[in-house]
Amino acid sequence: MSEHCDIFTRKITRREAISSAVKIGIGAVVGAAVGLGVGYLAFSEILKPSVAVKKGYFWGDSPYVMTDEWYIALNRALVYYAEYLGDKVLTLDPRGSQESQNKDIRYMIAQGVDGIMGCPCTEDGAVAVIEEAVSKGIPVVTYDGSANTPKISISILVDNYKIGQQLSEEYVKMAEKSGIKIEGTVFVVRDVAENPVQTARARGFIDGMKGYPVNILEFCGYHSVETGKKAVTEAVLAHGKPDLIMSTDLNKTLGAVEALKSLDAAIPRGREGHIPVIGIDSSPSIMPLIGEGYVDLVMDQPNLFYGALALKCLRIIKEQGENALPEIGQTIISDPSKKLGPQPDGTYNLFVEDIETPMGVRPFREAYWAPTICSKLHGHRWIVCKAVAVTPENYKTIPVWSNVVSLWFYGK
């Protein structure tokens, strides 16, 4: 796998621990704690995406890592939303280390934060420090992950099995609209079976294809573009050209396209002999391939909403109590024209305001994470966010992270 100095051209997975620190110019400063990793404290006088609604809170934020553009975009959206509300956020980068994350969270506690949000590095290793924070009256909300404790107020993340199902449903709709028969051989390219996230995605997709006359073959593409390319190349040589290739992450989607190109089998969409390539995760590298006709469909997580929704939930807890959050089993909608909270029809309304950030970016313009359900995870509430379909029709305009990074980071 080729790695360049520019992190935004690296083809890496979000769970890959990167040793090099990345400093991001987002109107932030390094945290004052010595030996606690990289920290970011956003100040209201630096970031001004809109007029602040209310002065208020000081939050701690502990993402899984901040050397990955996916998390950097998540954090950028959070910081802009916090500024809009008049809040400040201290983000400390544990770099995928649970030991570092535990130290960071204890530092946040010592700094007197009003609440903590973040993605636990491990489900069990984060339990003690989360329960310590809660015991001191500091609520904890997680995003893009969770921990094995009922002390978390609410978790905000997707269901990876359901993402796989959503991908199958969207592909069926696309195929029917295009007059493509759903039949023949389907390659499913995933990571090792021990990877629960990608295994769940593959299972969801495979189950969603039941009832169609397809022969599904699974292959391990491991973690990188190169290993994904190798897996697809060997699969084609052994079994012939497939009628569809499904990938469980962005690296293997890119690898599938590279494999087809190396075999002179990469034919653009709409031309005879085209092999559809679909997958989970968008990226700035995948978007052009959708336009060129080599990738047909990807499902993307609503990561731009993760931090903002976590902040919104923390505000609800601080101002109304944890019982004011959606109840387990309750349907959640997102409609800014209605009041926040329980609705007359029994649903719960939770929204992030459609603010305009620098470069005219409106990251919350489409609340594609909802409608959804509040489920239960590790004994606490779980907002089961929906994924969004990125298609040839919307790939240029839909406000997913891949379409905002160039504006936010490069100003173009």
Q: What is the mean pLDDT of residues 33-57?
A: 46
For position 411, what pLDDT does the model report? Answer: 76
Render pLDDT for 103-136 as a digit per residue (tens, 0 to 9): 999 999 999 999 999 999 999 999 999 999 999 9
% of the chain residues with pLDDT over 70:
86
Kindly report the pTM of this predicted structure.
Answer: 0.87
Render pLDDT for 349-363 as a digit per residue (tens, 0 to 9): 999 999 999 999 999
Burial status of residue 379 (CB atoms within 10 A of its CB: 0-12, 13-18, 19 or more): exposed
Render pLDDT for 5-30 as a digit per residue (tens, 0 to 9): 333 333 334 444 222 222 222 333 33
Render pLDDT for 160-184 as a digit per residue (tens, 0 to 9): 999 999 999 999 999 999 999 999 9
Superfamily of domain 165-300 in CATH is Response regulator (3.40.50.2300)
For position 35, what pLDDT does the model report? Answer: 35
Query: Where in 18-148 does DSSP place strands (E)?
Result: 38-41, 58-62, 88-93, 115-118, 140-143
For position 412, what pLDDT does the model report? Answer: 67
Render pLDDT for 214-235 as a digit per residue (tens, 0 to 9): 999 999 999 999 999 999 999 9
Which contiguous run of DSSP H or E holds residue 170? Answer: helix 160-178
Q: CA 196, 200, 203: angle at the middle one, nearest 5?
A: 140
pLDDT at 192 over 50: yes
Topology given in CATH for the domain delimited by 7-152+302-326+375-385: Rossmann fold (3.40.50)
pLDDT at 45 over 90: no
Judge whether 7-152+302-326+375-385 and 165-300 match in fold.
Answer: yes
Query: What does the block give as tokens for 222?
Result: 């491991």
Domain residue spans of the chain: 7-152+302-326+375-385, 165-300
